[in-house]
Amino acid sequence: MENSNEILTELQEIAPILSMDGVSRIPYTIPSGYFEDFSAILMSRIHLETAGIPDPVIAGMLNRNEPTELSPLEEISGISPLLAGIQKKNPYQVPAGYFEALKTKIPSSAVSSSIDASENIPSKRVALDSRLSASDSIHIQQGSIASQVKPVFFLSRAMKYAVAACLVGLLGITIYNMNNRYVTDPISGLTTVSEQDMANFLDAGDFHWTPVTTSETASVDFSDNDIHALFSNVSDAELEQYHPVLPAEKGSVN
């Protein structure tokens, strides 16, 4: 390394502030023990990455040119001697009698309800051809377990769903019909139409109508003078011709 003084002198010439005490201190922190553990972590990673690749020394010792597949123990020994040394003890627990109960649970789901419980059927060998060898085949003592087998009513479950679906459908149709009846009622339908829309409709249909906007009911308010003025130009004969049925009420309005 170059003399620190030379570097400091160079820095003082370029940027004096950077040569001040404490500036070059690195403020970052690292997890405690990081450097102590680093080489061990690194080596385990290297072992992991090179696992499966035969070491030339080991290959020479074995006097084999072709790489051979390592047994699980050899493989784990190469990756982690610590793991290879640990006993493969299962730390998990199962409920008491779990495996005994399992023996009866598996056949009960596999055997169909058509089996006659009273029939004395010899034991049946079921081989899971590709996964299990003949020695691993499962013996199901059907005769002995048949009494424990409960028939499974697949239809009853299907029926439950069907009935539920029907009820939901009926309810839906009833609600639809009720709503539909109110909607088709013309009077109730008109309540939702605005007056302006009605006026537009009447105009389009050559009707003459002016919406009453100031009050809800229309009223005609004529005084006697108004009536007199209206009928002043109409003769009594014309009036009698228009309304001849009321002789008692005959009289001049003029």
Footprint on this chain of another protein (rule: CB under 8 A): 1-2, 4, 7, 11, 14-18, 20, 22-31, 34-35, 38-39, 41-43, 45-46, 49, 55-57
User: For residues 39 and 65, which CB has a smaller minimum distance to another protein in the complex?
Assistant: 39
Q: List the one residue out of 140, 138, 70 whose CA is nearest residue 112.
A: 140
Contact residues for 126 (Cβ-Cβ < 8 A; gap 6+): 137, 138, 140
User: For residues 4 and 135, which CB has a smaller minimum distance to another protein in the complex?
Assistant: 4
Minimum CB distance to another protein, residue 197 (Å): 56
For residues 85 and 76, what is the distance between their CA atoms, to the nearest angstrom? 9
Minimum CB distance to another protein, residue 1 (Å): 5
HSE value, Cβ hemisphere, 13 Å, CA-based, for 143 = 6
User: For residues 25 and 139, which CB has a smaller minimum distance to another protein in the complex?
Assistant: 25
Minimum CB distance to another protein, residue 67 (Å): 17
DSSP string, 159-179: HHHHHHHHHHHHHHHHHHHHH
User: For residues 44 and 235, which CB has a smaller minimum distance to another protein in the complex?
Assistant: 44
- Residue 41 sits at φ, ψ, to 5 deg, of -65, -40
Q: List the one residue out of 84, 89, 82 whose CA is nearest residue 72.
A: 84
Tokens 């784990």 label which residue? Answer: 76
Asked whether 235 and 252 are in contact (CB, 8 A), the reply is no
What is the residue type of 131? Answer: R
Minimum CB distance to another protein, residue 23 (Å): 5
Minimum CB distance to another protein, residue 26 (Å): 6
Minimum CB distance to another protein, residue 68 (Å): 19
User: For residues 3 and 192, which CB has a smaller minimum distance to another protein in the complex?
Assistant: 3
User: For residues 46 and 253, which CB has a smaller minimum distance to another protein in the complex?
Assistant: 46
